[in-house]
Amino acid sequence: MRYSSKQFKRQLARACTCLSLLTIVAACGNQQPSATNTTSPVAQSKPTQYNILYIMSDDHTASAIGAYQSRLARLNPTPNIDQLASEGTLFENVFATNSICTPSRASVLTGQYPQTNGVLDLNGTIPTEKQHLARLMGEAGYETAMIGKWHLREEPGAFDYYKVLPEQGLYFDPVLRDKNQGKWPHNEVTIKGHSSDVVTDISINWLKNRKTDKPFFLMHHFKAPHDMFEYAPRYEDFLKGVHIPEPSSLYAQTRFGSKATRGENDSMLHELGTSISKRNPRRNMGIHMEIDANLSDDEYTHQAYQEYLRRYLRTVKGVDDNFGRLIDHLKQTGQYDNTIIIYTSDQGMMLGEHDYIDKRWMYDESMRMPFIVRHPGKSHAPKKADVIANNTDFAPFMLELAGSKAPEFMQGMSFAPVLDNQPLQNWRKGTYYRYWMHRAHHDVPAHFGIRTKQYKLIFFYAVNNDLNFQQTDKVYYGMDWSRKDGVIPAKTPTPVAWELYDMLNDPDEMVNLYNDPQYKDIIKELKAELKHQRESLNETDAKYPHIQQVIAKHWDD
């Protein structure tokens, strides 16, 4: 078609106008989408900063997530979390530095180990000025919120918004402290319902009602599946009548442990570590589950385990369903492909392995943390990663994803290059672990150690850091199931001992190899690395000379 001179000019003008509009649209597509924008995600496909949704449950061990392919996977306990894993990266070797709630959360928030951030046990606190992750995310341009379980005592004041459970929190009709309802700690509100549903409702409402155009950084923390496993009534029939696979070490642990965990000649088996079976007559899951004490030992153990796991997995089901609700909300509002989603837990959980329940131990079921990441901008990220990481690394990792850099006072390191299939430079040989609360609550001896990809070396040093600690202290939350007065009887001192496990050839940690002469050189290398990390990480017990004396005396045992 031929155009006259005027027609040609008009067509040229239209073309230039269209080109200008396309340029504007392209430029807008590279801007961070508005928090309230509910248009198609196509227009938001390349934000300069992604939202970050960090979801953390409590005591949700990796073995109770289908994607980790444990004995429980066939029960399909977590289809929504499994779907996230299928779209993202599943990290196989992420560990807590101390497998109890408060220290773990402190390490996530500070990027520091306990002796540096000061949180050694359940009495620790993190004041506003030390809530580094929240502050630095705000400085990086994010609107920040903390919703759900907090467990760090002081106000989460570094967040733009918070609505958190006091202390451990309630499963039903929870009380929460709301930043918009007055001065901490008197800003309490009560909300009817199960805590997993309530916390999710709060997060969704916060996402819906944000007024800024900043990207969001939301820490959404479930209380579940922490004991006492109070699940919502709608899950009463979940796994009813289903046989739950049992760990091979539930009934027999002949070469597992040491005199530190079993006593000389197994003399302390009835005292150390809360059990499934009758082994610990003062505190075992059969008592809590009201199993008939007249049953044979094996039948008692079997019934206690089955009921324990049903209740635990019913609370897990509530977490997974509410996780799915959060994902659905992101998809419905066009934010799913603008949001980095992380799912983890504050530590693992013993589910009958070695006849133990609870956490605290340095054994893998306790110290391993599930960690799954879906980054919409990393379509070629690996499906699995085996890097040895720990919870001090979470803050540096998320800061790098936010386009920021971790400050030098953070001891953790970012493993974000893994998502780009890049090698990590100057990475640690193994991860350091420390449990301080000698024989408190679940009668777990104090210990520290190192976990590499192949080996685990543990030193049980058998003393409390607090010389005034009373061996007849009150039971945590009054949950001594065999005494009405809540007082623990006087406790026998435990021996000092080492344990060594080959995690490649013995992943269930069934055989302690420490006294096997074939491993003499390996033990020497592991002790050298353990000493190096303790010195470099400010974990040398400078304030506790009585612990140093034990270490010096028994280091070469």
Model confidence over 88-127: pLDDT tens digits?
A: 999 999 999 999 999 999 999 999 999 999 999 999 999 9
Q: List the one residue out of 210, 249, 236, 260 whose CA is nearest residue 492.
A: 260
Q: Which domains does the chain have, with CATH numbers?
A: 48-237+308-427 (3.40.720.10), 259-296+432-554 (3.30.1120.10)
Distance CA 149, CA 447 (A): 27
- Please give the torsion angle defined by the CA atoms of residues 359, 361, 363 and 365, in that order, rounded to the nearest 10 degrees: 0
Return phi, psi of residue 275, to 5°: -115, 165
387 near 415, Cβ under 8 Å?
yes
Q: Is 187 exposed, middle or buried (0-12, 13-18, 19+ CB in 10 A)?
A: middle
pLDDT at 490: 59
Look at residue 489 in the predicted model and tell me its pLDDT. 55
- Name 61's Cβ contacts closer than 8 Å, sequence gap at least 6: 345, 348, 349, 350, 351, 365, 366, 368, 370
pLDDT for res 253: 85
Residue 104 and residue 96: Cα distance in Å, rounded? 6
Which pLDDT does position 469 carry in this prediction?
Answer: 63
Stretches in the chain below the pLDDT threshold 50 = 1-46, 471-486, 488
pLDDT at res. 195: 98
DSSP 8-class letter at 358: E
CA distance 400 to 290: 49
176 phi/psi in degrees, rounded to 5:
-130, 150
CA distances to 211, 235, 240, 496, 516 from 144, rounded to whole Å, are: 13, 33, 40, 45, 52
Residue 336: per-residue pLDDT:
98
Query: Vertex 459, ends 458 and 465: CA angle to 5°?
Result: 130
Q: Report the pLDDT value the prediction gives residue 466, as an integer from 0 to 100.
A: 83
Instruction: Check residue 25 and give its pLDDT.
Output: 33
Q: How far is CA 500 from CA 48, 218, 454, 460, 479, in A?
A: 47, 40, 11, 12, 32
Per the CB < 8 A criterion, the answer to whether 307 and 291 are in contact is: yes
